[in-house]
Amino acid sequence: MKNLNFFIVTILLISVSTFGQRGPIRERFQEKKEQIKALKVAFITTELNLTPEEAAKFWPIFNAFEDKQKEIKKQKLRAYLDQSDANSFDKLSEKDAATLLTQMESAEDDLFQSKKKFISNLKGILPSVKILKLKKAEEQFNKKLLQQYRDKKDRR
């Protein structure tokens, strides 16, 4: 769920910062997205102290995992996100709500299974300590990103 929150905050951060700028919004959005990705790669590489050999094996697995997570969230959680307005929930029938809840559970299970597979794949290339550090590094990066967003918002 934290990843979903991070994803939503990231999207908000990028979209808010692009609205105040000139130029095609889609291009600016993509640039910001790439900047955040580059910062994340640098941050994680530094925090995990990856050797060149580890990095060469780690990043393809990490990128594939993130792509899979985005795909699941985009496809399977879309219905939930479309209904996330509290008033929309009040308008749902019990049957529709139960269906939506089942879809959410399925998506969360898919996310969990993807994470388990990711960790299993990492065990073959990284020591367990670095896998634990990865979780912490991702959380730290997300906190820093959110703090930057808040600081930028406060300056306006």
Model confidence over 3-36: pLDDT tens digits? Answer: 444 444 444 444 444 444 445 788 888 888 899 9
pLDDT tens figures, 84-131: 665 577 777 899 888 888 888 988 999 999 999 999 999 999 999 999
Residues in contact with 47: Cβ distance below 8 Å, sequence separation at least 6, in sequence order: 133, 134, 136, 137, 140
pLDDT at 40 over 50: yes
- Locate 86 and state its tokens: 């509290």
pLDDT of residue 86: 53
Size (the chain), residues: 156
Provide the pLDDT confidence category of residue 134 given band limits of 50, 70 and 90: very high
Provide the pLDDT confidence category of residue 138 given band limits of 50, 70 and 90: very high
* Alpha-carbon distances of 137 from 49, 134, 151, rounded to whole Å: 11, 5, 21
